[in-house]
A = this chain, B = another copy of it.
Amino acid sequence: MAGEVENIEKFIDEHLPSDKLKEVKRLLYGKELRSLEFPPGAQELAKAKEFELKGYACDAAIESTRSPRVVRIAGIQNKIVLSTSDPVSDQRDAIWAKISDIIKCAALCGVNVLCLQEAWTMPFAFCTREKQPWAEFAESVENGPTTKFLQQLAQQYNMVIISPILEREEDHGDILQNTAVIISNTGEVLGKTRKNHIPRVGDFNESTYYMEGNTGHPVFQTQFGKIAVNICYGRHHPQNWMMYGLNGAEIVFNPSATVGALSEPLWPIEARNAAIANSYFVCGINRVGTETFPNEFTSGDGRAAHKDFGHFYGSSYVAAPDGSRTPGLSRTQDGLIVAEVDLNLCRQVKDRWGFRMTQRLDLYAEELAEVVQPFWKPNIVN
């Protein structure tokens, strides 16, 4: 089914009458974003390695007291490479090799901050409810092989790389976590941030594997702006997005893994709404492809046991604080989406709309303090 309309924005582009297209696109996507030109080497690499490469620019007004702060941010969506029956280390190494090529392409495109998809080193095996061999993919944030692999690339390409992995926290008795590692462009680990909200829906049996994150809502000051990471299901929680904004994020990445039947009509809404409400850029990244597992499993929906997860529909995109957005990547193919953004737009939108100024956080702090009391009752007027 996913192949019927390979890319919704492209489909609309190709089928609507050209004299009205500009207005239709304004209504659907906000102000028009320029397409970026990339060097031939980048395009050739994308073609040779069969991934989509798209880039757009979101400009801001010129200011008198601040220089433009133009950075290139990017997200990668990708299929797994080997069979899920292959040895864990082989599966991981094959994904590393694929991602290594796409990161090289990102470097050729001048990307400054790059985010990979959720649990990027592995298939999204939480549908199986099996602990082995999937827990073997978990590794240390600080010393794990994936961090070491990316540290070298981050330094080589002078690129901040966000690496969302299944974390094994050895110091706390081998607890598993769903964690994003922030690797600075110097190659150092700047920090980590965990998934705050864990789904229990459909094949997303993630609460079987890890608990709610305990790192709060940190924002990381990089050379290329203040960034944060809202992992996957956290995108359904506006208060989660809000806290990253309150802590000063200018760009929030949302590495995700979600499937068509469950969430696809929600996908263009939630991350974009977060960009609007919080006056920051959002880069929403979704896994792509259909993954099949060695043993059959059930999905809690009356269907017979089966071995395949639903289709991860990709469609990664970038949304801007002024409500504009890029088209999405393909619903079926690997891809690299690049956005050149002027971070000055964040404050310009704040100054214009005043959402932070009118936010009345004191009111909500007070009300929430009441709501969380065990014997609280809702305010219902009869």
Contacts and interface: CB of A to CB of B under 8 A. Distances in A.
A219 B379 CA distance: 6
A68 interface: no
Contacts of A379: 216-219, 247
Nearest to A216: B379
Contact of A23 (B5, B212, B220, B243): B5
A371 interface: yes
Interface stretch (A78-86, A303-311, A349-357): A349-357
Interface residues of A, number: 82
Contact of A270 (B16, B233, B273, B378): B273
Nearest to A355: B236
A182 B382 CA distance: 11
A369 B367 contact: no
B8 A28 contact: yes
Number of copies: 2
A201 interface: yes
Given A191-B381, A197-B359, 9 more contacts: A1-B23, A26-B265, A27-B265, A28-B268, A197-B358, A197-B360, A247-B378, A269-B276, A365-B371
Interface of A: 1, 4-5, 8, 11-12, 15-17, 20, 23-24, 26-31, 182, 190-191, 196-201, 212, 216-221, 226, 233, 236-239, 241-243, 246-248, 263-266, 268-270, 272-273, 276-277, 323-324, 352-355, 357-365, 367-369, 371-372, 378-382
